[in-house]
Amino acid sequence: MKSIVIGVIGADVHAVGNKIIDYTLQNAGYNVINIGVLSSQEDFINAAIETDAKMILVSSLYGHGEIDCRGMRDKCIEAGIGNIILYVGGNIVVGKQNFDEVRRRFIEMGFNRVYAPGTPIEKALKDIREDLGD
């Protein structure tokens, strides 16, 4: 069973979406390690190392995702899991910005996939299956 680490990054306490992702991924047959809300980059990375996870799925709902996610890929590289697949989604920036621009910034930060507000989890699940080769 492949392991995926999920959680809500930064000073963000939005727990509902996190539970939905947990439920959906478990039903899809993945071993979900849910580190919950108020999680730091290190919390995600540590959990991924110990569980040999193939993917980290970062949620951010409160608009500060860009600050919270900066440098995460570099830390993964430092921690020896540089090849791990990183997803991010939610309301990851403030205001009505052009999402193609937002996506470009997060891709440059090292995220493999970036989801716009309101993306249904089913769409992400399809990508997860594809990226993990299931």
Q: Which residues are catalytic?
A: 12, 14
How many residues are recorded in the chain?
134
Instruction: Report the residue from 24, 28, 51, 127 that binds another protein according to the rule CB under 8 A.
Output: 51
Q: Report 3-22 residues binding another protein (CB under 8 A).
A: 3, 11-14
Q: Report 52-111 residues binding another protein (CB under 8 A).
A: 52-53, 62-63
Looking at the Cβ atoms of 34 and 113, the one nearer to another protein is 34
**Helix orientation angle between 16-27 and 121-131, rounded to the nearest 10 degrees:** 50
Q: Quick check: 90 and 59 in contact, CB under 8 A?
A: yes
Does 42 interact with another protein (rule: CB under 8 A)?
yes
Q: Is 3 helix (H, G, I), strand (E, B) or coil?
A: strand
Instruction: Report the residue from 17, 24, 28, 31 that binds another protein according to the rule CB under 8 A.
Output: 31
Short-list 121, 7, 5, CA closest to 61:
7
Cα angle for residues 38, 41, 42 (degrees, 5° grid): 105
Looking at the Cβ atoms of 25 and 47, the one nearer to another protein is 47
Binding site for another protein (CB under 8 A): 1, 3, 11-14, 31, 33, 35-39, 42-43, 46-47, 49-53, 62-63
